[in-house]
Amino acid sequence: MKITKEQVLHVARLSSLSLDSGEEERVALELSRILDYVEGLASVQLPPPGIIAKEETDGLTVMAGDIPASSLPPSTVFLNAPDSHGGFFRVPRIVEEGR
């Protein structure tokens, strides 16, 4: 499916994206390739829903049991955390006040 430069600019405006000069052509080509790939996926023949699951599980429940297990110690959990305080992960604020 061919995506035009105008379509890219339209979508960029709708999504408040700024594209550098000349970037529209590259984005149009990439989007065209993605849509062609998705179009190809639509032609894949699949069995009706439920048949694969039934054949693979033979009617058995495949959900894992809710069995308590030991947790990692806090020292291990926070080892790779960029920031923590008082036993909690500290993350940047993403919600603005008053919204």
Ranges of each domain in the chain: 1-62
CA count, 13 A, side-chain hemisphere, 48 = 1
pLDDT tens, position by position, 18-36: 998 889 999 999 999 999 9
Over the chain, what is the mean pLDDT?
84
Q: Give exposure, 70-93, as e/b (b: 16+ Cβ within 10 Å).
A: eeeeeeeebeeeeeeeeeeeeeee
* Contact by Cβ (8 Å): 19, 50: no
pLDDT at 49 over 90: no
pLDDT at 60: 65
**CA–CA separation, 4 vs 29, rounded Å?**
9
What confidence category does residue 50 fall into, taking pLDDT thresholds of 50, 70 and 90? low
**Is residue 86 predicted with pLDDT exceeding 80?**
yes
pLDDT of residue 53: 55
